[in-house]
Amino acid sequence: MQTLDVRASLENLERVEARAPTQEAVDKFARKRIELAKAALETLATLGYANTSLREIAQHSQYSHGVLHYYFSDKLDLITCCVSYYKSICVTRYDDVVVEASSADALLDAFCDRLVETLEREAPLHRLWYDLRAQSLFEDAFHEDISIIDRKLEDMVWRVCNTYCGLAGGHPTLSRASLYAVFDGLFQRALSGYIHGDTGASGQLVKEVRDLLPKLVSAA
Amino acid sequence: MQTLDVRASLENLERVEARAPTQEAVDKFARKRIELAKAALETLATLGYANTSLREIAQHSQYSHGVLHYYFSDKLDLITCCVSYYKSICVTRYDDVVVEASSADALLDAFCDRLVETLEREAPLHRLWYDLRAQSLFEDAFHEDISIIDRKLEDMVWRVCNTYCGLAGGHPTLSRASLYAVFDGLFQRALSGYIHGDTGASGQLVKEVRDLLPKLVSAA
DNA sequence: GAAAAATTTGGACAGTTGTCAAGAATTTGC
DNA sequence: GCAAATTCTTGACAACTGTCCAAATTTTTC
């Protein structure tokens, strides 16, 4: 069992004299955790939290079910790791859209393109997000990680809106919370439509956003 | 087993000659279904969809677990019945607020009061709604019922906003979908805060709504 | 290349799940 | 008040759950 050793070295890293090999072992262990979390995320996104068991997760990875308890102390530990990994994927989705924007219209175009792209290509992952966010209303253990991501998503929306308004020569009329709420809500509706076979869902989302965003900038 | 008989009479109601007693039996059967769905809703709201079993539901009712399969064909049938019952509770929450409003300010006051009241008094029920809406992204069987409620909630928000704007001498600047999205999103955030012990969640929600709604009415 | 450590496997466990059925208890119809 | 239909209880079932562990396998270390 390396688990405890690695954990210990994670906490007492400074006091360990043979740094190099231990550090490497820690990294290796952490890398495997991420690899497994990645596989777990795929299964979770396919089946949903309520219908996903550890055995199912293991079956969709290249390992047996026992290995999960070698790298994770329990199911909660695994899910938490999944959420952390998810964070690293999702919160920077629109960053390049923002920095590369040269005009308000160009930003709006790029933003809509990216919205549709992530909606259609990562639909299962998005629905898992909404699933886990709902779970956090019942399981306190999820709350902290989920709410951190929620704030980061709010920041992301804020950057887009604020940059757009700046390029349009004004500033946002709505609060950060309201801006996040409205875009998240529209996206969630489009996701539901897309998942259930409404082929016009993406187009409708773009139409809504194109109609909405210009209204949210104050007169200069 | 009355189940099949009642089902049949539900479908072939017109062709049954002895109307009175059969109809009564049907009603009785339906009433018991609702009674059980009510109890189930409470358990679901407490534990969440993922953590609620039929035995748990039965334990919090006054019946044994076998009775659930007498009144419901399977778990899905029960949940669906719960969702239908939930609909009858939720979609008229703000109706009297709308019809009794005499001025825009009065409507805004009453709306905020009602928001806080339902947030704090029915928090578990609200989190169940978000939970089940997320489930509908994985289980096709849920989708239809959930999306019907979603539309009714959108209508509800629209009535409030439209009435407010009318009293203020204008009309809403945002689409129905955007209006629902933003209020639902703000409410969801407040719900999360309230559930996790943030005592300022209600106040923050009211502050957001009071700031938001006036901005959503066009110049006459 | 042998000893030691790390990693993986597969089975076992106790508990839970949805579902079903036989019989007891209750209500209904006459 | 009795027979029939109903409602309800109880126990059983097979499958599945998270967790743990001993042994097999692989990798690392010297």
Chain C nucleotides near the protein (CB, 7 A): 5-11, 16-22, 28-29
Contact by Cβ (8 Å): B135, A50: yes
**A15-41 pLDDT, tens digit each:** 333 334 466 767 788 999 999 999 999
Whole-number pLDDT of residue A83: 95
Mean of pLDDT over chain A: 89
Alpha carbon distance, N-terminus to C-terminus of chain B: 64
Question: Which of A103-107, B19-23, B28-32, B135-139 has the weakest average pLDDT?
Answer: B19-23
Which residues are registered as beta bridge partners of B217?
A: B172
Question: pLDDT at residue B8 above 60?
Answer: no
Question: Which of A168-177, A185-194, B5-14, B63-72 has the weakest average pLDDT?
Answer: B5-14
**A184-206 pLDDT, tens digit each:** 999 999 999 999 999 999 999 99
Question: pLDDT at residue A100 above 50?
Answer: yes
pLDDT > 90: percent of chain B: 83
**B90-117 pLDDT, tens digit each:** 889 999 999 999 999 999 999 999 999 9
**Distance of alpha carbon B54 from alpha carbon B70, whole angstroms:** 13
Whole-number pLDDT of residue B2: 45
Task: Kindly provide the ipTM of the predicted complex, given to two decimals.
Answer: 0.90
Whole-number pLDDT of residue A219: 78
Residue with token string 């805060």: B193
Whole-number pLDDT of residue B191: 98
Q: Which pLDDT band holds residue B70 (cuts at 50, 70, 90)?
A: very high
What kind of fold does domain B3-79 have according to CATH? Arc Repressor Mutant, subunit A (1.10.10)
Half-sphere exposure at residue B176, Cβ-oriented, CA atoms within 13 angstroms = 10
Whole-number pLDDT of residue A15: 34
Residues whose CB falls within 8 Å of the CB of residue A126, separated by 6 or more in sequence, listed in order: A118, A119, A187, A191
Of B55, B56, B15, B9, whose CA–CA distance to B28 is shortest?
B9
Distance (Å) from the C-alpha of residue A101 to the closest C-alpha of chain B? 25
Q: Which pLDDT band holds residue B11 (cuts at 50, 70, 90)?
A: very low
Contact A50 B50 (CB under 8 A): yes
**Distance of alpha carbon B68 from alpha carbon B70, whole angstroms:** 5
Counts for chain A of helices (H) and strands (E), in that order: 11, 0
**Distance of alpha carbon A86 from alpha carbon B22, whole angstroms:** 56
Whole-number pLDDT of residue B184: 97
In the CATH scheme, what is the code of domain A3-85? Answer: 1.10.10.60
Using a CB–CB cut-off of 8 Å, the residues of A that contact B are 47-51, 127, 130-131, 133-140, 143, 147, 150, 173-175, 177-178, 180-186, 188-189, 191-192, 195-196, 208, 211-212, 215
Distance (Å) from the C-alpha of residue B176 to the closest C-alpha of chain A? 10
**Distance of alpha carbon A83 from alpha carbon A143, whole angstroms:** 11
Average pLDDT over residues B108-130: 97
Does the nearest atom of strand D lie within 7 Å of B28's Cβ? yes
Among B48, B135, B173, whose Cβ lies nearest the Cβ of A215?
A: B173
